[in-house]
A and B are shown apart, each in its own frame.
Chain A
Amino acid sequence: AQKVTQAQTEISVVEKEDVTLDCVYETRDTTYYLFWYKQPPSGELVFLIRRNSFDEQNEISGRYSWNFQKSTSSFNFTITASQVVDSAVYFCALSAHPNFGNEKLTFGTGTRLTIIP
């Protein structure tokens, strides 16, 4: 069985500060994918990133960066120079691949990020 833990329930930071959202996962599968989704107040889940278990390279996209470490089963997400528009609930998710084609997601409980202007 898969499990995703987001220990930070809520985080508040002042605008322009950097913030890191933690994600720890558990799976017995050797092939898996990790994801981050953003859920703004409007409610729709927005895809941010997908990483496979064989690619531990960190990734940067604008102000967003992700740190994937298999040794600690973590996939942390950092927002640099946060902005008010970053306020949302962020979900980390895991998909294992016992059967090709089925990428059902196991989600963490989410971290509510509030950026204070």
Chain B
Amino acid sequence: GAGVSQSPSNKVTEKGKDVELRCDPISGHTALYWYRQSLGQGLEFLIYFQGNSAPDKSGLPSDRFSAERTGGSVSTLTIQRTQQEDSAVYLCASSLVWAGGINEQYFGPGTRLTVT
């Protein structure tokens, strides 16, 4: 079946502009995660969704970052007033949560964000 998809694959924006990054998880996966991969910080967790709720937002670096998920499916990560330090690859992952446990996370190809 289809894997996790993300769009756009590349985004170049000017400092101070807002950007929206989209994630389409694997169908039926109720858990969704956003991570960021940058040269200076490595791979770091941003936010976790279970269904449409985000019980863990502890990784969001500032209040310029927000995310939502609708219909238990698509998620959007929004960065307002982008700064150069926001330049990174933003990765989305989803996993299946069921009564017997939790399955592994499957990652999308990422969105490479460049803030000029």
Contact = CB atoms under 8 A, between A and B. Distances in A.
A116 B9 CA distance: 30
Given A43-B89, A45-B91, A99-B55, A104 B45 contact: yes
B110 A104 contact: no
Interface residues of B, number: 25
B42 A107 contact: yes
B30 to A, nearest CB: 8
A104 B48 contact: yes
Contacts of A103: 31, 95, 102, 105
Interface string A72-111: 0000000000000000000101000001111111111110
B109 interface: yes
Interface in B19-36: 31, 33, 35
A104 B104 contact: no
Contact of B105 (A44, A47, A100): A47
Contact of B107 (A44, A50, A99): A44
Interface of B: 31, 33, 35, 42-45, 48, 50, 55-56, 59, 89, 91, 93, 95, 97, 102, 104-110
